[in-house]
């Protein structure tokens, strides 16, 4: 599955932004404030649609504060196109994060069904079916899927179309977003965390969109325990045999127990012992062992980026400015990893770094600009350059030049 096109309307700086990303790697370049992050945030918004109704009943607010945005996404599934369109009402919180209040969503899947009709079904309902099977938090799910089937049939959607929508909802649930700003100020990082002795801590795997220091520590620990191969790959890169960022990482496990008391009807008292593990990560750097909160910000961000890249299990990955805080000697290897992984899954990055551009094919570079009347505009470089200009640039790159150098002179952005 790939995203082949996105149209973003009335969302932040994206007034009507049409974006045709590469199926492997897309590198967004452009001045500050041009809308690179907004494009990625619009894609992140899709994943909030999986949970709208469950949350919004708690958060209904003044209608006058809503903004009405529209995100239309073309999914390419084995060469067939499925279009999901979402009209969303949002409010923005004090951290400038979006909260979806309500959405109206439609599906158009002529390639699958042969029908030109649209089906109006929110992603959340689809995701519930895939996630909870027949059970559903809102009540009788069997009724709902029966109703759904009938509704789909009326629109010429067959059984298969529902499974396609389910695949798309799962794909969306596994979109990951990494930004170094998630890992600022390591002193905010806890120095230990607790897991149940059976291993489940209730923390979610993956670079979830709300990723935090603690999630990162937990993910590192769980890879260490369960997936020694991926963990070794990670450690080989950051450890003494790789870039030497760190000499050793260990996880001290301290058994703790807690008991809870519950009273059953009739007055029976039941006491339950629970064995927990307190996990204390330690990072050894030149013979001193540090808590995560004592690591330098650059070390922390680099560890998190490499860990997330190597162990990532997401369906699609977005990375903001991979160059932030990463030592330039290391950046080449990180871009190499990104290039390799982009063969398996679509990756979008935003960047201000000429080193990054030097390691990316020109076909993968997209320029983002902000027009005073049209808002954010994003285009592949090859669509902006005239044919002969593109030919000359390619020749220049093959002989003496580098894309980063060319960009530094401003030539990419001024065409």
Ligand X SMILES: Nc1ncnc2c1ncn2[C@@H]1O[C@H](COP(=O)(O)OP(=O)(O)O)[C@@H](O)[C@H]1O
Query: What are the residues binding ligand X (CB under 6 A)?
Result: 12-13, 30, 32-38, 92, 96, 368
**DSSP of 350-368:** E---HHHHHTS-GGGEEEE
| Residue 33 site contact among ligand X, Mg ion, none (CB < 5 to 8 Å, cut-off depends on kind) | ligand X
Looking at the Cβ atoms of 209 and 238, the one nearer to ligand X is 209
Looking at the Cβ atoms of 30 and 281, the one nearer to ligand X is 30
Place of tokens 């209608």: 63
- Shortest distance, position 3 Cβ to Mg ion, whole Å: 19
- Shortest distance, position 103 Cβ to ligand X, whole Å: 18
Q: What is the DSSP letter of 119?
A: B
- Shortest distance, position 352 Cβ to ligand X, whole Å: 9
In the bound complex, which residue of the shown chain has the CB atom lying closest to Mg ion? 37
Provide the token pair at 206: 């993956």
Exposure class string for 1-34: b at 16+ Cβ within 10 A, else e: bbbbebbbbbbbbbbebebbbbebbbbbbbeeeb
Looking at the Cβ atoms of 34 and 215, the one nearer to ligand X is 34
Angle at 40 between CA 39 and CA 44, to 5 degrees: 120
Looking at the Cβ atoms of 36 and 370, the one nearer to Mg ion is 36
Question: N- to C-terminal Cα distance for the chain?
Answer: 33
Looking at the Cβ atoms of 161 and 182, the one nearer to Mg ion is 182
Which positions touch Mg ion (CB under 5 A)? 36-37
What is the C-alpha separation between 359 and 159, in angstroms, rounded? 45
- Shortest distance, position 350 Cβ to Mg ion, whole Å: 6
Cβ–Cβ < 8 Å for 10, 65: no
- Shortest distance, position 369 Cβ to Mg ion, whole Å: 14
| Residue 32 site contact among ligand X, Mg ion, none (CB < 5 to 8 Å, cut-off depends on kind) | ligand X
Q: Which of 178, 190, 259, 242 is nearest to 221 (CA)?
A: 190
- Shortest distance, position 67 Cβ to ligand X, whole Å: 7
Q: What is the DSSP letter of 413?
A: H
- Shortest distance, position 35 Cβ to ligand X, whole Å: 4
Provide the token pair at 156: 């010429």
Looking at the Cβ atoms of 304 and 377, the one nearer to ligand X is 377
Looking at the Cβ atoms of 248 and 408, the one nearer to ligand X is 408
Sequence-ordered list of residues with C-beta below 8 angstroms from that of 46, at least 6 positions apart, any chain: 71, 73, 84, 86, 123, 172, 175
**DSSP of 24-82:** SEEEEE--TTSSHHHHHHHHHHHHHGGGHHHHHHHH---GGG-EEEEEEEEEEETTEEE
């Amino acid at each position: 599955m790939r995203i082949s096109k996105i149209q973003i309307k009335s969302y932040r700086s994206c007034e009507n932004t049409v974006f045709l990303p590469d199926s492997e790697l897309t590198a967004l370049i452009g001045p500050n404030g041009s809308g690179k992050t907004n494009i990625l945030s619009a894609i992140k918004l899709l994943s909030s649609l999986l949970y709208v109704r469950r949350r919004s009943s708690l958060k209904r607010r003044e209608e006058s504060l809503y903004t009405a945005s529209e995100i239309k996404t073309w999914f390419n599934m084995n060469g067939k196109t499925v279009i999901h369109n979402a009209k969303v009402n949002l409010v923005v919180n004090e951290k400038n994060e979006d909260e979806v209040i309500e959405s109206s969503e439609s599906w158009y899947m002529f390639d699958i069904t042969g029908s030109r009709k649209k089906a109006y079904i929110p992603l959340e309902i689809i995701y519930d079916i895939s996630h909870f099977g027949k059970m559903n938090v809102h009540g009788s799910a069997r009724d709902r899927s029966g109703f759904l089937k009938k509704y789909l049939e009326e629109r010429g959607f067959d059984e298969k179309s529902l499974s396609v929508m389910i695949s798309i909802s799962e794909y969306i649930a596994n979109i990951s977003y990494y930004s170094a700003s998630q890992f600022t100020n390591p002193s905010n990082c806890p120095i230990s965390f607790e897991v149940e002795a059976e291993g489940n801590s209730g923390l979610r795997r993956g670079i979830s969109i709300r990723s935090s220091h603690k999630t990162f520590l937990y993910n590192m620990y769980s890879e260490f325990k369960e997936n020694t191969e991926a963990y070794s790959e990670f450690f080989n890169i950051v450890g003494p045999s790789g870039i030497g960022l760190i000499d050793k990482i260990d996880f001290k496990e301290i058994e703790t127990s807690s008991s809870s008391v519950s009273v059953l009807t009739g007055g029976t008292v039941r006491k339950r012992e629970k064995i927990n593990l307190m996990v204390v990560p330690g990072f050894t750097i030149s013979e001193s062992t540090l808590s995560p909160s004592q690591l330098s910000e650059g070390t922390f961000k680099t560890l998190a980026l490499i860990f997330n890249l190597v162990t990532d299990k997401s369906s699609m990955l977005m990375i903001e400015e991979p160059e932030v805080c990463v030592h330039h000697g290391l950046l080449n290897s990180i871009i190499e990893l990104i290039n390799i992984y982009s063969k398996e899954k679509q990756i979008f990055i935003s960047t201000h770094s000429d080193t990054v551009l030097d390691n990316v094919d020109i076909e993968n570079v997209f320029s983002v600009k902000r027009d005073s009347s049209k808002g954010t505009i994003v285009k592949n470089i090859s669509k902006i350059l005239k044919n002969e200009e593109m030919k000359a640039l390619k020749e220049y790159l093959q002989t003496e030049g580098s894309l980063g150098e060319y960009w530094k002179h401003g030539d990419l952005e001024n065409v």
